[in-house]
Structures are given as C-alpha cells and as structure tokens.
C-alpha cells in the first residue's frame, strides 16, 4: 500500500465500508485527496456521494476501514475537531439571523473576540462578493446570494477542506453556470481543497481538477475530466459521462477489434485473444460520408437540430444504434457511411473499475 501514497495527501480513505442495516452503501473504497485541488464526486442519486462527505466531516463513522487526515487516523476524531466545513444542499442558514451573524456563527461558538470576528466576517464576505450586505436578512437575499452566504459561513472558519454537497442544484441554469465559474475561481484564490458533489456530468467536467465517478457505493473511475471523458474504464462511466455509442465487441488480437460484424484497426492492446469487450465511440468522432466511403453503412432513423450540430440516430444492418453528431444534415431514411479513425475506438474490459482491480 505504501507505493500509492501521495506525498501531499490531505485525506486518505483506506478500504472504507459503510453499512446501513447490513447493506454496504459504500463498499471497500480507497482514494486520496491532495491539498489545494478541486475534486468532484460524481454519480447518480443514491450512489454514496453524501455518505463520503459525512464520513469526512465526521457526522458518521466507517463500519470498516480507516480515514486519514494528514496521515493520522481520524476515525475517533469528533466532527467539531476536524479542519473541515460543509456547505449543505439547502444551505442550512439561520433565517432569524442577518448575513453578518450567519457568517459569524462558528466564530462566536469559538468565543473569538468581537474585533477579530468583525475582521474575519468582512474578509469572508469580500471573498464571496457580498461586501455591504452584512445587515441584510436572509429572506431578502436571492438564491445565489444565499449560496454565497453559506460559502462565506464555511470559509470564515479557514478549513483545510471545504465540502460542498450539490450546492448548485437549487439554482436555475443561468445562475448555476455563473456560480460554477465563481466557485472554481474562489477555490483558486483560497487555495484550499474543495470536495464538490454533483450528479451533473457537465458540471463535473467543467469544474474539476479530479473526478471520482461513483456507482452503487464503488468508485468506478478516478481521473482528470479529460481522462474520464476520453478513456472511460467501463460502460457505466462511458454512459454516464456524455453521450456514447457503446457496443459489444471482441478483441481479435492487439490493435484489431471486431464489432458490428466487421473488424477494425484500433490502438488498444494487452487484451486476451478473442476477449469479449465493450467498445465506445463518441458521437462527435463519427464522420458522416457517402455510403461507399464509410467504414460502416447505416440508415438514418431520426435527427434533431441541436444548434451547433445535428444529432443523428441511425441503425446499421445488424440493428446496432448509432448516434452521430454532424454539422451536415442528413435525411430520414437515407443511407449514409460512417467514418472514424482507429483512435476514436475505445476498447474496455467488461466490468472493470478503478477501485481495487487497478491500483496505480
């Protein structure tokens, strides 16, 4: 285990399991968090994202395994002794207190002197662009402003790690996009570690240094947004991150794969001869051609205009569905060719995950 320990790890989960009524909602999970980066836990509802945050915050304890903070086990450390603050999904602000007192709350509990509280609250509000709002009531603040108050209340305690549990999900699309930029910028300015939770893959891709994709209490894959988009390790990740064509296939030999009834040159190697695999091709990597120029022939079933491109749904002669993004239009019922480079084919082992099987 020593081999994969990061030098600058601030949090480390070592084989952590959380059981509720005997059922593992987190199942033997190991990962590391480095100082000063923006991390995202991404996965569908119920996959265990909030459970991970609650374990880090100390609101619940692991059933098995160990959580380390700077290489010290914190399994026995109570929540209020951890250098961690949480921004909750519903913000959990105090409606009867004004903005200043909401932000000052944690400092008052620590019995800090008034002059110091004034200074720190002012600074935290400046960070989130809410200078001058000290005496506003929470009810008079918009959704985006409440969001900022919740963040100011968390960062005023100068945590080493800020946990954000789907903090943008209550906002409308435009505000959400604005807040994505703001949060990312705030993380850079503060230089502390953010662990951000979302079920929205576009949000995760746009914001993160590092993403953990979760499903059913297991980390499916961890990596940069580009790693995860370009090199998904399994069907779940490929499907969850953006639109994909995912087909069953067979690896004939290194650099040669069969799917849709044909053999294609590819760039993947290291599989067993004739290993059953799944292949992924992104819709934007398929080029529409004349039927005789394509590597595959398909018939257009439907199309939608998406502003920048057409989203074309077509079927090959084996009945496989193909999604194509093209700036050129096609006609429903028309036969077209699909051309793709060997690099566009991504071959995956069936059932592979990053957790356990592939320790780096």
The yes or no reply on residue 45 touching ligand ADP (CB under 6 A) is yes
DSSP symbols for 91-154: ----TTSBHHHHHHHHHHHTT--HHHHHHHHHHHHHHTT-TT-TT-BGGGS-HHHHHHHHHHHH
The entry of ligand ADP, Mg ion, none near residue 244 (CB within 5 to 8 angstroms by kind) is none
Q: Judge contact between 239 and 228, C-beta under 8 A.
A: no
> Which of ligand ADP, Mg ion, none does 16 bind, CB closer than 5 to 8 A by kind?
none
Phi, psi of 15 (to 5 degrees): 50, 55
Q: What is the DSSP letter of 4?
A: G
47 near ligand ADP, rule: CB under 6 A: yes
Distance CA(326)–CA(298), nearest Å, equals 14
d(CA 202, CA 205): 5
Contact string (CB under 6 A) for ligand ADP, positions 7-36, x = contact: -------------x----x-----------
Residue nearest to Mg ion (CB): 50
Here's the x/- map for ligand ADP, 48-77, by CB under 6 A: it reads as xxxx--------------------------
Residue window 323-342: x/- pattern of binding to ligand ADP, with contact defined by CB under 6 A? --------------------
Cβ(281)–Cβ(266) under 8 Å? no
**353 binds Mg ion, rule: CB under 5 A:** no
3-state per-residue secondary structure call for 224-236: CHHHHHHCCCCHH
Given candidates 6, 46, 255, 302, which one binds ligand ADP under the rule CB under 6 A?
46
326 binding partner (options Mg ion, ligand ADP, none; Cβ < 5 to 8 Å by kind): none
Judging by DSSP bridges, how do beta strands 210-215 and 38-42 pair with one another?
parallel
Q: How far is the CB of 243 from ligand ADP (least distance, A)?
A: 22
Q: Does 51 help bind Mg ion (rule: CB under 5 A)?
A: no
Q: Which residues bind ligand ADP (CB under 6 A)?
A: 20, 25, 43, 45-51
Q: Which residues bind Mg ion (CB under 5 A)?
A: 50
């Amino acid at each position: 285990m020593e081999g994969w320990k990061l030098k600058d790890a601030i949090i480390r989960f070592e084989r952590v399991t959380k059981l509720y009524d005997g059922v593992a909602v987190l199942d033997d999970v190991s990962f590391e968090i480095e100082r000063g980066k923006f991390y995202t836990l991404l996965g569908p509802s119920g996959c265990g994202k909030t459970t991970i945050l609650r374990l880090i915050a100390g609101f619940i304890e692991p059933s098995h395994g160990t959580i380390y903070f700077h290489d010290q086990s914190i399994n026995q450390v109570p929540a209020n002794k951890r250098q961690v603050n949480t921004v909750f999904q519903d913000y959990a602000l105090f409606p009867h207190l004004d903005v200043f007192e909401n932000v000052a709350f944690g400092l008052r509990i620590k019995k800090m002197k008034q002059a110091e509280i004034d200074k720190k609250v002012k600074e935290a509000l400046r960070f989130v662009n809410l200078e001058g709002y000290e005496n506003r009531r929470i009810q008079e603040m918009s959704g985006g402003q409440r969001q900022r108050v919740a963040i100011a209340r968390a960062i005023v305690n100068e945590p080493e790690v800020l946990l954000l549990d789907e903090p943008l999900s209550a906002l409308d699309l435009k505000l959400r996009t604005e807040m994505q930029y703001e949060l990312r910028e705030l993380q850079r300015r503060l230089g502390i570690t953010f662990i951000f939770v979302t079920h929205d893959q576009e949000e995760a891709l746009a914001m993160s240094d590092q993403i953990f994709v979760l499903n059913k209490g297991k980390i499916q894959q961890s990596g940069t947004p580009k790693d995860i988009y370009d090199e998904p390790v399994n069907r779940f990740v490929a499907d969850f991150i953006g639109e994909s064509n995912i087909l069953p296939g067979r690896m004939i030999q290194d650099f040669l794969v069969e799917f849709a009834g044909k053999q294609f040159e590819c760039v993947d190697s290291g599989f067993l001869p004739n290993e059953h695999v799944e292949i992924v091709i992104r819709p934007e990597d398929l080029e529409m051609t004349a039927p005789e120029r394509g590597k595959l022939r398909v018939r257009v079933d439907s199309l939608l205009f998406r502003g920048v491109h057409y989203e074309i749904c077509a079927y090959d002669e084996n009945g496989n569905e193909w999604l194509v993004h093209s700036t050129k239009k096609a006609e429903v019922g028309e036969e077209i060719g699909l051309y793709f480079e060997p690099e566009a084919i991504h071959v995956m082992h069936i059932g592979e995950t990053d957790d356990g099987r592939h320790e780096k």
